[in-house]
Amino acid sequence: MVAILFYIFFFAALDICTIASLIGIIKIPKQIKLAVWLLTPVVVVAHFVIADSGFLFPAEEFLKIFMFIPIMVVLHFMSRRVSARIANNINANPRLAGTAFAVKYTTITGFIKNRLLYIMIFAFQVIAICTPGIRKGMTKQPVNVYHHPSQY
């Protein structure tokens, strides 16, 4: 239980610092960000150095959950490019520019890319941390569910 709480708080702090660095909607003092960024390599290395301590998750399971941090960064920049391109297309169309649709579209996509995306990623991280079946299922090799008729 303590390990699960540790991982939830660790990933919450890491996600919030990442969001604060990318978007800037959350103001976090630089000292706290620095502490979280310096703690991160220590935690990552601890998973490889300390073998089967009983407290830490196995390294493979931890890395699968940790990989959502770089994915969050990539999705941030991808969503910015897509949103900018769509906004340019809407503004270039004289029938759509300045309409209620354009305003609502901008508001909704802003909410999705600046808040909902990160909430969903953190929610999945928490679910993966709290549910051993999901955590272990993420590390298994994929199963071939498609069987070609010639295999029968």
Query: Element (H or E) spanning 84, and its range?
Result: helix 68-92
- 44-79 pLDDT, tens digit per residue, is 998 888 867 778 888 888 888 999 999 999 999 998
Domain count, the chain: 1
Is position 48 within any domain?
Answer: yes
Is position 30 within any domain?
Answer: yes
- 133-143 pLDDT, tens digit per residue, is 777 776 666 55
- 100-128 pLDDT, tens digit per residue, is 888 898 889 889 888 999 999 999 999 99
* CA 95 to centroid of chain Cα atoms: 37
CA distance readout (Å), 38 to 14, 30, 32: 11, 12, 10
Is position 151 within any domain?
Answer: no
Is position 37 within any domain?
Answer: yes
- 2-56 pLDDT, tens digit per residue, is 889 999 999 999 999 999 998 888 889 999 999 999 999 999 998 888 867 778 8
Is position 127 within any domain?
Answer: yes
> Domain containing 109: what range?
2-138
Is position 150 within any domain?
Answer: no
Is position 143 within any domain?
Answer: no
